[in-house]
Amino acid sequence: MRIATRGSALALAQASWVAEQLPGEHELVTVTTSGDRGGGPSDKARWVDAVERALLDGEADLAVHSAKDVPAQLAPGTVLLGSPPREDPRDAVLGELRPGARVGTSSLRRRAQLLATYDDIEVVELRGNVDTRLRKLAEGEVDAAVLALAGLRRLGRTDGARPLDLVPAAGQGTLALQAREGAQELSISDPETTACLAAERAVVRVLEADCHSAVGAHCQRTSHPSLRLVAWVGAPDGSAWLRDELEGDDPEALGTAVAERLLSAGARELLS
């Protein structure tokens, strides 16, 4: 099986882990996306375009993504096969989150929730891969940096990381396995993780959110078969926000219902 992945350290670690869980022989096919080249569309598609193209061109049989990077609409002719068990979905802070601190993040969602929670910090742009952001923190460019705890764990970089009580991005901590239509589901797919990802992605789809939207969504199993879904929408400066939660059995219906409730409460105005 040929497994397509981006070439970042985190993407390679994730794809290698998937390959180790699957029977038989596997080959990693490393591709460079528009996002890696610093161009392409201004939405999440720039991080998956070349990976999806490798599938459709027959150059790969499976693609491994960070689920939070996968657009609500997949490339025609492809499907998600499910997800292995989820890593910790929370955000984490490294450094000092003290009054007056310069806190670095590249996420609009994190920026909005941090500003909504702390009124005495300055949130600044902090881009690059995990190692680049940690280096900038060590060099004093920022006093603290907020990253996904799952990525830190997969790279073994959790020293000093402290979880934050923010609503994570839809799919954060989850791997999305994508293939051409007609492919069989893989043995490593976890039903609970797959159901929760479907609910979170439904929120994003109905809200028409993208990487420029301050939107969080997190689903958990409460009891079989019930799921609990929390979603958050905010203004980029944290001055106004909405939060809703609901329980249900059907992931798609649950995500749709939560998103529609947020829209009826004014989410569209916050997103625009």
Within a domain: residue 248? yes
Which pLDDT does position 42 carry in this prediction? 55
Q: What is the pLDDT of residues 230-253, one digit of tens each?
A: 999 999 999 999 999 999 999 999
Which pLDDT does position 17 carry in this prediction? 96
Residue in 49, 69, 91, 143 annotated catalytic: 69
Residue numbers in the chain where pLDDT is lower than 70: 39-43
Regarding whether 204 and 260 lie in a shared domain, the answer is yes
Between helix 9-21 and helix 130-138 the angle, nearest 10°, is: 130
Regarding whether 182 and 139 lie in a shared domain, the answer is no
33 Rama class: left (phi>0) / alpha (psi -120 to 50) / beta: beta
Is 43 catalytic? The answer is no
Residues 218 and 199: their CA atoms lie apart, in Å, by: 9
User: Does the global pTM surpass 0.85?
Assistant: yes
Regarding whether 262 and 195 lie in a shared domain, the answer is yes
Quote the number of domains for the chain.
Answer: 3
Regarding whether 123 and 227 lie in a shared domain, the answer is no
> CA 186: distance to chain centroid?
21
Regarding whether 179 and 80 lie in a shared domain, the answer is yes
Q: 37 by DSSP, 3-state: which? A: coil
CATH code at 270?
3.30.160.40
Regarding whether 16 and 67 lie in a shared domain, the answer is yes
ω into residue 225 within 30 of 0, thus cis?
Answer: yes
Listed residue (7, 15, 5) closest to 154, CA to CA: 15
Within a domain: residue 169? no
Regarding whether 6 and 24 lie in a shared domain, the answer is yes
Task: Give the 3-state secondary structure of 77-130.
Answer: CEEEEECCCCCCCCEEEEECCCCCCEEEECCHHHHHHHHHHCCCCEEEECCCCH
For residue 15, what are the domain limits? 1-84+174-186
CATH code at 32?
3.40.190.10
Instruction: For residue 265, give the DSSP letter.
Output: T
Q: What is the pLDDT of residues 113-136, one digit of tens each?
A: 999 999 899 999 999 889 999 999
Which pLDDT does position 212 carry in this prediction? 86
Which pLDDT does position 265 carry in this prediction? 98
Regarding whether 252 and 118 lie in a shared domain, the answer is no
Regarding whether 241 and 110 lie in a shared domain, the answer is no
Which pLDDT does position 126 carry in this prediction? 95
Regarding whether 178 and 43 lie in a shared domain, the answer is yes
Which pLDDT does position 201 carry in this prediction? 97
Regarding whether 179 and 71 lie in a shared domain, the answer is yes
Within a domain: residue 130? yes
